[in-house]
Chain A
Amino acid sequence: MEEEKPHILSFKSQIFILVVLIMLTLMAVGVTKIDIGPFSLAAVLVIAAIQVYIVIAYHMHLKFETLFYRIMVVSLFILFVAVLFVTLSDYIFR
């Protein structure tokens, strides 16, 4: 009747995650102040991706869900990025 107990994220972990996310935000802002040329966009996006991963994996619990969910979410992002690149490639190669 009662399935496995749901995974509970502790208050301590949540505070820790908050601190990490704030630090990453400030880091991303900091990156824009220093001149690293063409890498600034990449750096900002990488930091954003890490933040998004943390929110999805921990706050949205994906790390503790079944494999099906992880496959679905990853497949969705892959599908979206693929559609994005196919569209963009029209403009790049015109």
Chain B
Amino acid sequence: MSQTDLASSEQSYLKVQTHKGIWNWLLTTDHKRIGLMYLYAIATFFVVGVILGLAMKLELIAPGKTVMTAQTYNSFFTLHGIIMIFLIVIPGLPAVFGNFFLPLLIGAKDVAFPKLNLLSWYFYMIGAAVALSSQFLSGHAPDTGWTFYAPYSFKVASNIVPAIIGAFILGFSSILTGLNFIVTMHRLRAPGMTWMKMPLFPWSLYGTAWIQLLATPILGITLLMVIAERVLKIGFFDPALGGDPILYQHLFWIYSHPAVYIMILPAMGVISEILPTFAQKSIFGYKAIVISTIAIAFVGYFVWGHHMFVAGMSGLSLYLFSLMTFLVAIPSAIKVFNWVATLYKGSIQLETPFYWAASFLFIFMIGGLSGLVVGSLATDVHVHDTHFVVAHFHYIVFGGVGFAFFAAIHYWFPKMFGKMYDSFWANVGWVFFFIGFNLLYGTMFYLGIMGMPRRYFDYVEKFHSGNVVSTIGSWIMVFGLVIVIANLIKAARYGPPASDNPWKGKTLEWTTATPPPLENFDIQPVVTKGPYDYN
């Protein structure tokens, strides 16, 4: 190895210059920089999505018109959904932490196809731009909801086509990332790292990647069919031409249900990484978690009809989907038991990542248990399309992915940026966020059972007080969010230097420098033990 090789291999990836100026970022093929570019984009879109949410809650603080018209409210919840689903929670954890840490966790230099990785980022940015253009082009912003249900989606005169094309392009980003991760794990694991010695975050990314690969194309073709319906009057979903609108729902949810496993599996993977570190104890039931991951990915393909219980499906389909929905809850429950068992008799380190991970367990449980209410036919009839469902999916998606994302960023921040954040303010932010989150969404369970419909701009007086509590909750939550984000931004710029392994973790990313050099490890790691060997 020459002197220049040695010098460059020790240089932090953030200091390496492969191109001049901004091209050092825009033309990078380094998975770590690509992860950061996703982080900055996602954080920006997240702020937009949160502002839309706040605006909606402000409208709902009182019955009748408060700050916007009904039409505006409809376009707001549509855009809020499009941004949060397609730009934040589906790409989120894989694109940011998967990209940054998958190669590190398996002892590799980069992903299998680094240039394809950069292309995925460009598809993400272009898809986002095209989707968001639907707001600014002449014509109305879409107001169909992010679900684009037929026949409204092909009849309404608004900018549905750009929104759909944007989602289609975003699908490419998702598919190519999944493809890249699968090949990476098959071909680039460090010597000695058998599949059953691979850490659990990569395993979760593996399950996720297969779903990204196999489910997204169905959404792709369904979106093309909507465009064909609008432009060519092809008739697939139009009852006037012999088509069935429910077929649209089938095709849409055949993707969109597995999509929620794209969201939650990496979140579960993050928790499986964090809890052993902060209990200083090996994960309980490694094999069971691996099998549960695969089981969730597989069984999750057959539950989509639970989004359509009142749409008009056959009786047999109703029973089948409800049964499969209850079955798919089992592997998730197994993971929760294993996480709790991991903490039992562990040496608990009370740090910020642990607070987020532990509260994840609480929030995820509420989300999951409420899922049984909607997954059961008799009860769903009463709560479908009410705020109960809104509460359920915010607990499980925002609660699940969101808490895991904040846990991950607080866990891996030192490694990514080489600096440490202020724990006190991080924890203060967490407290406000946690309280606000539960006020905001917990009250929605109650409102939903009382009968308050979702996607309605107005409501009757009996829902008023609940909505006041909920909206105030949104303000408290966002207050906490601002503290959390501001604290991290401050630390990235002015924080004190972090050590290589501040949390005493055992996985491979903690064995290399903070921040890592460009090719991750100075010497190729060779693995002999399991990933959480705290003995």
Whether A90 sits at the interface, judged by CB under 8 Å, is: yes
Query: A92 CA to B316 CA in the complex, in Å?
Result: 10
A87 and B314 contact, CB distance less than 8 A: no
Whether A73 sits at the interface, judged by CB under 8 Å, is: no
| Residues of B in contact, count (CB < 8 Å) | 15
* Contact A89/B254 with A79-B214, A82-B302 known, Cβ cut-off 8 Å: no
Whether B307 sits at the interface, judged by CB under 8 Å, is: no
B301 and A79 contact, CB distance less than 8 A: yes
Query: A63 CA to B302 CA in the complex, in Å?
Result: 30
Which residue from chain B places its CB closest to the CB of A82 in the assembled complex?
Answer: B302
Which residue from chain B places its CB closest to the CB of A86 in the assembled complex?
Answer: B302
Contacts of B316 in A (CB 8 A): 89-90, 93
| Residues of A in contact, count (CB < 8 Å) | 12
Smallest beta-carbon distance A67→chain B, Å: 14
B314 and A93 contact, CB distance less than 8 A: yes
Query: A91 CA to B305 CA in the complex, in Å?
Result: 13
Smallest beta-carbon distance B309→chain A, Å: 12
Query: A14 CA to B196 CA in the complex, in Å?
Result: 41
- Residue from the list B246, B301, B312, B317 in contact with A89, Cβ < 8 A: B317
* Contact A90/B302 with A79-B214, A83-B254 known, Cβ cut-off 8 Å: no
Smallest beta-carbon distance A71→chain B, Å: 13
> Chain A at the B interface: mostly helix, strand, loop or mixed?
helix
Query: A35 CA to B320 CA in the complex, in Å?
Result: 38
A90 and B305 contact, CB distance less than 8 A: yes
Contacts of A82 in B (CB 8 A): 301-302
B250 and A90 contact, CB distance less than 8 A: yes
Whether A76 sits at the interface, judged by CB under 8 Å, is: yes
Whether B315 sits at the interface, judged by CB under 8 Å, is: yes
Whether A33 sits at the interface, judged by CB under 8 Å, is: no
* Contact A94/B313 with A79-B301, A86-B302 known, Cβ cut-off 8 Å: yes
- Mask, A68-88, CB within 8 Å of B = 1, is 000000001001001100110
- Mask, B296-323, CB within 8 Å of A = 1, is 0000011001000000111111001000
Chain A residues with CB under 8 Å of chain B are 76, 79, 82-83, 86-87, 89-94
A–B complex contacts, Cβ < 8 Å, 5 sampled: A79-B214, A83-B301, A86-B305, A89-B317, A92-B314
Chain B residues with CB under 8 Å of chain A are 214, 246-247, 250, 254, 301-302, 305, 312-317, 320
